[in-house]
Amino acid sequence: MRKKTIGRTPDDPANRSPTANIGFKFKSQNGSKMPDQKIIALPPDMHRPVITTTLLPGKMGSHGWALLLAGAMFLMAYQAMAAAPRRPVAMPFGRNYVPTWAFDHIKYSNGGSQIELHLDKYTGTGFQSKGNYLFGHFSMDIKLVPGDSAGIVTAFYLSSQNSEHDEIDFEFLGNRSGQPYILQTNVFTGGKGNREQRIYLWFDPTRDFHSYSVMWNMYQIVFYVDDVPIRVFKNCKDLGVRFPFNQPMKIYSSLWNADDWATRGGLEKTDWSKAPFVAAYKGFHIDGCEASVEAKFCATQGKRWWDQREFQDLDSLQYRRLGWVRQKYTIYNYCTDRSRYPAMPPECRRDRDV
């Protein structure tokens, strides 16, 4: 049984794009660091900057106090400029979500605050949000299938429900033991996708939970991994590019077999002797405009936190982090694939994807 998303078939170009046939060799990523770290140093785990000042007794004087005051003002200005999304609020699964298929392949623990999706040779499983949303911040903490996960896809995505659907995708493509997961992102607008980007992650996503989130407003869609922006899709309607702004979406997740394309273009098949394959979830954060009323009321004109000015673009630190991901971990970007797009898609320069 094949389940992934509304409006997509096994023969969809998004599933069988040239990216599926690219083979990748994993190389050590130890020692990777953010470039140009002279003023604000980021720890290796890339949390927000830690700015320290050493005060020497008896050495302050008026010049020292002026420097200290300037440093404090810089710190306050920096904090005001920084536009990380609000911290997700963990919710039990049943508050925001319901199973959609193969209910017996979902296992609950910790009072429903954590679940596991199980995949065997008979079926995978999935779930969806109870509500439909137009703009907001949506987050899951996921621990991916460990070991030999070749052929398996774990998906977390938003999608509307019609033939010209909009969709925002995280797809985690499994691999053979010892090889890294590939995270593929995609954006569909008006039923058109083919905007795949693929990265390696800078950690082992099977050892612990990590946060994967989407911040979506009228100006941009930002994909985050542990608060690090890995992709931006700007509103480029003025360039003739459709943007998801009027179709409410549900949030979905699923664990399914896609060994016809997911790993090395379908060359690596799922080893069912390793089943069941298990992905774990917690968090289940939704902070969005529920579109139970007319969608136009979700265009809140600055009344929601994600509509505020600081969320209309990334700040300089976030762009440096995005550049770090681009430089160190990106393995495919549709924006630079001239075999598919002889002319660069117009949104790519605005998204700073090149």
Query: How long, in residues, is the chain?
Result: 354
pLDDT (0 to 100) of residue 178: 83
Return the percentage of the chain with pLDDT > 70, whole number: 73
Find all residues with CB under 8 Å of 51, minimum gap 6, and list them: 40, 71, 75, 78
pLDDT on residue 66: 54
pLDDT tens digits for 42-60? 433 454 444 343 434 444 4
- Mean pLDDT within 14-25: 41
Distance, CA of 118 to CA of 171 (rounded, Å): 17
Listed residue (147, 202, 154, 207) closest to 179, CA to CA: 147
| Mean pLDDT, residues 237-264 taken together | 95
DSSP lists the bridge partners of residue 242 as none
Higher pLDDT, 66 or 218: 218
Side chain identity at 325, as an amino acid letter?
V
| Whole-Å CA distances, 241 to 80, 149, 188, 234, 322 | 31, 36, 11, 10, 22
Q: Residue 354: CB partners within 8 Å, gap ≥ 6?
A: 333, 335, 336, 344, 348
Query: Quick one: pLDDT at residue 62?
Result: 56
Give the model confidence (pLDDT) of 111-166 as tens digits: 999 999 999 999 999 999 999 999 999 999 999 999 999 999 999 999 998 889 99
pTM of the full structure:
0.79
Give catalytic residue positions: 167, 171
How many Cα atoms sit within 13 Å of 113 on the Cβ side? 6
Domains of the chain: 88-350 (2.60.120.200)
How far is Cα 107 from Cα 11, in angstroms, rounded to an integer?
31
Res 88: pLDDT:
78
